[in-house]
Structure 1
Amino acid sequence: MSDLHVLLVDDEPLALRRLETLFGDIDDVEVVGTAATGDEAEAQIARLRPDLVMLDISMPGKSGIRVAADLAADPRPEIIFVTAFEQYAPDAFEVDAADYLLKPVRFDRLRQAVERARRRRTMRDAADRLAGVPAEARDEAIWVQVASGNLRLPIAQIEWIEAARDYVLFHTATRSFIHRISMAALEQLLGPEQLIRVHRSTFIRPALVNGVQRLGKGLIALEMQDGAVVQVGPSYVKSVLDRLGLA
């Protein structure tokens, strides 16, 4: 597997150093450069042609959102936004970001986001992604908004879901989609045979659980296939262990 070439963009030196340290523990990636402003980021993208850009949203001058929106369609690097502010999430996914990470960045979420970006490099076109889904798996789907309009997202492609204020993030193998719906309404929509609620702000697909961490005092966390570690809410522990056959 060839290395994924990564450009880090943040106006805070400490944030850049933290990202460099975290990337040092991820296999098959190479940090090829850094930038501290939107203009510098555009120049470095043009010069280095990275596969992935870790892009801070709030920077002096040109914002990360503007940088992503102004990128040429081809060749276009994958974008993972990094920010301290949740309210930018809708704007981030309008420009087709692979993921959206909140500071301080957790290693498991970074690794998961990088792997998603890596997969997206070989699965760019949404139509190609859906073409390989069996017809029976398309019967249940959710229409989500994307930059070009709306996309029919088969529920079978959703790996896990997390709440983001008034929105939810649907995480698939290749990207995340933002959608305005409450967790309560989502629970009514999703069949428990597919995705189960494990926290007031999280659903997961049981078939993708690789391991269970025992945290003490009856608390647990789930290790997902993509490397994410998902906390289970105290009131959900029993039902989750039952569902996994571990009760």
Structure 2
Amino acid sequence: MMRVLIVDDEQLAIDRLAGFLSDIDGVEVVGNACNARAASQAIVELHPDLVLLDIQMPGRSGMALAADLPAEDRPEIVFVTAFEHFAPDAFSVDAADYLLKPVRFDRLKQAIVRAQRRIRLSIAAAQGEKVVAETSRYLREIWVSVRDGQVRLDVELIEWIEAAKDYVLLHTATRSYLHRISMSALEEKLDPEALMRVHRSAFVRPSLVEKLERPGKGSLNLVLRDGAIVQVGPSYVKDVLRRIGPAPASQ
């Protein structure tokens, strides 16, 4: 059971997150806090596995709190904020995810799954296990920024990609990385068989698509294994259906 602490200075935001979390299996809300000081104390007392952390709060910010948490026994952090411009700082403190308000259920569920995987991988690493990725004749790795410098990200670990103004968000099973590159430049470097462009603002790993949704005439959404929903651009629908759609029924 994943133990979650919710930190936000607005009770309505806490209630909304708690309501969503009640519908996600394997999650228990162990407490909430309305400021960084109370959150710091709750982390020490409750030992949560994950903290859903607002950034802008009275007094000390959530970003400052996350930056000061000791590396040892540090809970996973998912920032929840109304402001997208904090994203570079969020990933520099090794956040598992970054959710924009109003939070959608599918994105929250994806963040929970990602945090759970990060915890499992951390345990496995402590036991001396290694994660091995396959090579590719296309771009095989990307240097991405993290809290204390840069790391080499294996492209095989990327599950989907979305545009974020002058950056892209590279979503893996355990966290997202912010990387400065255009979508068109990235498309030239990626193996289209592994990461297919499905929108001018998104790439998806086809093997992770579990469901096709049609919310309206001519529109198409892809539901990934971890619950993320990715919209397909109108000009990409035919190619996506040809590639990953159901096979036509035999006559």
With the length of structure 2 as denominator, give the TM-score of the two structures. Answer: 0.92
1:47 pairs with 2:35: no
- After superposition, the C-alpha distances for 1:8-66 in whole angstroms (9 at most, x for unaligned) are 00001111110010001001111010011111111111111100000001111111110
- After superposition, the C-alpha distances for 1:106-125 in whole angstroms (9 at most, x for unaligned) are 10110010011011112138
Match of 2:93 in 1: 95
Match of 2:239 in 1: 239
Aligned residues: 245
Match of 1:222 in 2: 222
- After superposition, the C-alpha distances for 1:180-233 in whole angstroms (9 at most, x for unaligned) are 111111111112111011112111000111111122311111111111111111
Paired AA for residue 120 in structure 1: R
Match of 1:163 in 2: 163
Match of 1:16 in 2: 14
How many percent identity over aligned positions? 60
Cα distance in structure 1, aligned partners of 2:68 and 2:197: 38
Match of 1:185 in 2: 185
SS of residue in 1 equivalent to 2:186: helix
Match of 2:146 in 1: 146
The Cα of 1:127 is off from its aligned counterpart by 7.7
- Any residues of structure 2 matched to 1:28-177 within 5 Å, and which? 28-124=26-122, 131-134=130-133, 136=135, 140-177=140-177
Please identify, of 138-147 and 208-217, the stretch whose mean Cα deviation from structure 2 is larger: 138-147
Match of 2:3 in 1: 5
Segments of 5+ residues of structure 2 without an aligned counterpart are none
SS of residue in 1 equivalent to 2:56: coil
Cα distance in structure 2, aligned partners of 1:42 and 1:179: 30
Cα distance in structure 2, aligned partners of 1:45 and 1:203: 36
Cα distance in structure 1, aligned partners of 2:55 and 2:65: 9
Structure 1 residues 62 and 124, CA gap change in structure 2 (3 angstroms) = same
Moved beyond 6 Å, runs of 4+? 125-130
With the length of structure 1 as denominator, give the TM-score of the two structures. Answer: 0.94
8 A Cα contact 2:133 2:154, kept in partner: no
- After superposition, the C-alpha distances for 1:109-167 in whole angstroms (9 at most, x for unaligned) are 10010011011112138988994214636971111111122111111110001111211
Match of 1:211 in 2: 211
Structure 1 residues 200 and 149, CA gap change in structure 2 (3 angstroms) = same
Paired AA for residue 231 in structure 1: Q
SS of residue in 2 equivalent to 1:136: coil
